[in-house]
Amino acid sequence: MQKLGVIDLGSNTTRLIVMAYEPGHCFRLTDEVSETVRLAEGIGPSRMLQPAPIRRAVEALRMFYSLCISTGVNEVIAVGTSAIREAANQADFWAALRTATPLDLRIISAEDEAYFGYLGAINALPIQHGALFDTGGGSTQVMAVADRKRTRSFSVQAGVVRFTEQFVQSDPISRTDLRRLRAAARDAFAPLDWLPDLSNGRLGGIGGTVRQLARIDQKQRAYPLERVHGYQLTREAVERITEELARRSRRERLQIPGMKEERADVTLAGAVIIAALMDRGNFPYLLVSGQGVREGIFYQHFLADQPQPLLNEPRQFSVLNLARLTHYEPEHCARVAHLSLSLFDQLAPLHGYGAWERELLGYAAILHDIGISVGYYDHHKHGEYLIHNATLLGFSHREIVIIASLVRNHRKGWGDLTAYSPILATDDETRIARLSAMLRLAEYLERSKSQIVRDVRVQIGDEIVIDVIADGDAHVEIWEASRRSGLLKRSFGREVQIRAT
């Protein structure tokens, strides 16, 4: 695999990701480091970078570059955004950087910053139409999306560090300053007269402030997943957190579950900015993106042979990506998927499910054995863990829980779903049981991993009769499947007979 390091020097935080990848085939994150440098601190109307923030930023860049070199990274790309782009004394920064490290830093335009943020998020979130935004320390970029294509963008100097310094003059903030902060946020997005037209689509949020708000909301809700990417953050939640932050001093804000120390002083301004943007576009909620500018730069390399660096089917790709990284057996998994989906289609008169459930079952079939990469014993449980902690793109949290549960149940036993009740629908336990039963039966009909069983024919009467169509001796497969048919029997409430044709 090739290794690419991407460094994003923002106005508030500097971040590094290291991606190992085979172009167009698979990738994985191998390292991630972030450092709060507050480069925009004290920049003021003069647009002069201050000596202390310059030192912090240069030291972080030096360390990140050294880490990349020492870990065998093939190429390092470093970009700087709002604070350096607008600085009147860029020469001071360049002098300090060139003294400390040979790193080649590229200052990207607001347009490029919006584009890379768009690439990172659109490849990772289930958004076909709507808008994306990226709130950083110095500015916010807003992008319109139609058919996953970026159609227009807007940049404004409304960032969490900039607004904190301009409007948060007391601790806790005074009501007067809070009104001024909210008015400034509303004014910042007033020119976006096209944003309300996108409210029938989805809004995706990029940046550390969005992720911070999501973590706080998850803690307050006792949310069962620690996954932030893809989390649905409501407008009401943003307002509730804003009011709580406004009531507290910085020291008190540190006691809020989920609050990171380095963001305790800037999250209030960020929440107000995000609330104003949601109000401007009439969006009742946003989807949190764990990917942004750095990942967008990576996708440009990973998909360099394509006309545009867009994954055609992010969901399908990310499932195959995880399968490839865990050394799955393509022929075996393809046959399990075929048999599962054949059972699904023929049992449709009983379950009544549609294309959505069928898609999730197919993905679970591809991933059902990935836990073997950890160890054979309890590999169904290892697989569930891997899915919950993998980079799966374009899936909702509910869908991830369902896929992980199917993988957990594909061999034996039953995974307890109680903890996931805040995420699942009321009928999902039945849905998971029935889909798991089909996957389990398909797995045992492919017990020898030799593709002996070609297909099945299902007859539905007082009992479910499954005729096995085989290209050889399938006695072992039929025996195993019959032993494991209890879940199918219980979930559909009918006796099950499996026989050779």
Q: What is the DSSP track for 6-49?
A: EEEE-SSEEEEEEEEEETTTEEEEEEEEEEE--TTTT-TTTTPP
Taking residues 301-330, what's their average pLDDT?
A: 96
In angstroms, rounded to a whole number, what is the distance separating the alpha carbons of residues 385 and 371?
A: 8
How long, in residues, is the chain? Answer: 501
Report the sign of the C-alpha dihedral through residues 238, 244, 245, 246, in that order: positive
Q: Are strands 2-9 and 75-80 parallel, antiparallel or unpaired?
A: parallel
In angstroms, rounded to a whole number, what is the distance separating the alpha carbons of residues 211 and 153?
A: 22
pLDDT of residue 272: 98
Taking residues 345-367, what's their average pLDDT?
A: 98
Mind listing the domains of the chain with CATH numbers?
A: 2-108+295-308 (3.30.420.40), 125-290 (3.30.420.150), 315-500 (1.10.3210.10)
Does residue 233 sit in helix, strand or coil? Answer: strand
Omega prior to 45 cis, within 30 of 0? no
If pLDDT is split at 50, 70 and 90, which confidence band does 44 have?
Answer: confident
Which residues face 394 on adjacent strands?
Answer: none
Render pLDDT for 55-90 as a digit per residue (tens, 0 to 9): 999 999 999 999 999 999 999 999 999 889 989 999
Render pLDDT for 247-298 as a digit per residue (tens, 0 to 9): 999 999 999 999 999 999 999 999 999 999 999 999 999 999 999 999 999 9
pLDDT of residue 264: 96
Render pLDDT for 385-394 as a digit per residue (tens, 0 to 9): 999 999 999 9
Q: What is the DSSP track for 280-338?
A: HHT-SEEEEPS--HHHHHHHHHHTTTSSSS--SSHHHHHHHHHHHHTT--HHHHHHHHH
Does residue 1 sit in helix, strand or coil? Answer: coil
If pLDDT is split at 50, 70 and 90, which confidence band does 224 have?
Answer: very high
pLDDT of residue 144: 98
User: What number of other Cβ atoms are within 10 A of residue 59's Cβ?
Assistant: 16
Q: What percent of the chain has pLDDT over 90?
A: 97
In angstroms, rounded to a whole number, what is the distance separating the alpha carbons of residues 115 and 337?
A: 37
